[in-house]
Structure 1
Amino acid sequence: MAAQDPSTTGPDGEAFNIRASSYFVLRAAHRCDACGSVSPVIALAVPPGHESTEADLELDDADADSPGLDPQAFRDWLFAPVQWQTIPGPAMISSTRALAPGVAQTLSALAPGYRPNPERSGEWSNFCEHCDKPIWDGALYPTTGQAFCPGGPEAAAQVSAQQVDAPFAAFYGMCWTDSYRNKWPLFARLGYVCDETE
């Protein structure tokens, strides 16, 4: 069996599904559900021009009423070799299962409260700095008003962003792109203005 390219796989052999030439470490504050204390939390984001194997399929107008792929075309798509696609907008990831070793090493120095959670099969999680309980990603990302979903420029200004000029690779479960309008204030905070014309 051929060895996998270590630049495209995680430490446990997971195939990375996002990569970039640089990345952002975002920092915000969150009140821990377990102890009620305010704790720092971090998130990871990548700039426009990053690459992903999980890009959304874009259907043109002619495909809008399609019943979908026929069974053989679906099988061909499902078992096709991984293809990297360049994504024109920024993205933020969550439910991160694997990070490239260099990224993991940088994060252990910059954000020791963000680390693999053994209770979630090693998924990277924020841990409260006061009680050391894991903080669920669902409390940080999806809903406007949460730490990494600021409702406007004022709230976004409370999120700090440190750009790391080093290669990034990860395997994520959820990717928040600029197709999520509620992420626009956060992406604007990173210097990427999103609007309807993109």
Structure 2
Amino acid sequence: MDTQNRNTDDECDSGANLRASSYYVLRASHRCAQCGASTPVFALAVPPDHESTEGDLELDEDGDCTGLDPGAFHQWLFSPAQWQRIEGPALLSQVGILSAPVMRTLHALAPTVRQNPERNGQWTNFCAHCGTAVWEGALYPTPGQPFCPKDDAAAAQIGVQAVEEPLAAFTAMCWTDGYRNKWPLFKRLGVACSKTD
């Protein structure tokens, strides 16, 4: 855990807004919208107790984000980055920057994931058959999609490779345990989620 808490120059220079002492590479199947073939798709997730520089967002009863109030947003926007410990796990989406060791691991474990120049270098899944970029909106948000399993049986179909090395990344979206529809996925990672009052 010690490596996670070090704020290295490399992390600052890379523009990372999320770091963890370990991470997961997830693998699922998806039917390509372009060619119709089943293709492997991959995602990154981090365990509880990762760190982020993003502001805490409040979720309403339905799991929708209510956003930061204007004063908190202004303070967050203009203050220096401060690392916060996040108690729960997270599924990463819209990843724009990865540290070099994570890039090497991703190349080895997720061969159809690469930077997409049409998405400003965002790390993207590509169909293994036709080479078309796979839209993240078809993978993450809705129950029944590859990284949003409806139940434990669907979650069991997701391959999980634990990587016991630090992760530093810039991600524009994190699906946390505040999103109840992610609970079967997080249970697959060994993290039990429950409603807290």
Interval of TM-score (by shorter of Structure 1 and Structure 2): 0.7 to 0.9
Aligned counterparts of 1:118 and 1:147: Cα–Cα separation in 2:
24
Match of 2:78 in 1: 79
**Residue 32 and residue 69 in structure 1: after superposition, are their counterparts in 2 closer, same or farther (change >3 A)?**
closer
Amino acid at match of 1:33: A
Q: 2:187 is paired with a residue of what secondary structure?
A: helix
Matched, 1:106 2:119: no
| Separation in 1, partners of 2:16, 2:163 | 19
Over 3 Å counting, the alpha-carbon distance change for 1:69 and 1:138 in structure 2 is: closer
Deviation of 1:78 (Å): 2.2
1:35 is aligned to 35
Amino acid aligned to 2:26: L
Provide the secondary structure at the position in 2 that maps to 1:135: coil
SS, match of residue 94 in structure 1: strand
How far off is 1:110 after superposition?
A: 1.1
Contact 1:8 1:169 survives alignment (8 Å): no
Q: Structure 2: 5+ residue runs without aligned partners?
A: 1-7, 60-68
After superposition, the C-alpha distances for 1:8-40 in whole angstroms (9 at most, x for unaligned) are 333xxxx21100000000000000001000000
Q: How does 1:1-40 map to 2 (within 5 A)?
A: 5-10=9-14, 15-40=15-40
Distance (Å, rounded) in 2 between the aligned partners of 1:74 and 1:182:
27
CA deviation after TM superposition for structure 1 residue 142, in Å: 0.2
State the TM-score, normalizing by the size of structure 1.
Answer: 0.86
What is the aligned partner in structure 2 of residue 48 from structure 1?
48
Q: Deviations over 1:159-184 (max 9, x none)?
A: 01000000001101110000000000
The equivalent residue for 2:132 is 133
Once superposed, what is the RMSD of the aligned Cα atoms?
1.8
Runs of 5+ in structure 1 lacking a partner? 60-67
Contact 1:18 1:171 in 2 (8 A): yes
Secondary structure of the corresponding residue to residue 97 of structure 1: strand
Q: Which runs of 4+ in 1 moved over 6 A?
A: none
Give the secondary-structure state (helix, strand or coil) at the position aligned to 1:176. Answer: strand
User: Which residue is equivalent to 1:92?
Assistant: 91
C-alpha distance in structure 1 between counterparts of 2:74 and 2:185, whole Å: 38
Give the secondary-structure state (helix, strand or coil) at the position aligned to 2:181: helix
8 Å contact kept, 1:55–1:87: no
Amino acid at match of 2:10: P
Higher gyration radius (CA): 1
Residues 128-173 of structure 1 show CA distances to partners (whole Å, capped at 9, x for unaligned) of 0000111010000000000000000000000010000000011011
Deviation at 1:75?
A: 4.2
Decide whether the 8 Å contact of 1:23 with 1:165 is kept in 2: yes
Aligned-partner Cα distance in 1 for 2:195–2:128: 39
| Sequence identity percentage | 59
- SS of 2:29's equivalent in the other structure is strand
For residues 106 and 74 of structure 1, the distance between their equivalents in structure 2, rounded to whole angstroms, comes to 35
Structure 1 residue 58: deviation in Å? Answer: 5.3
Change (3 A) 1:134 1:197: same
The aligned length equals: 181
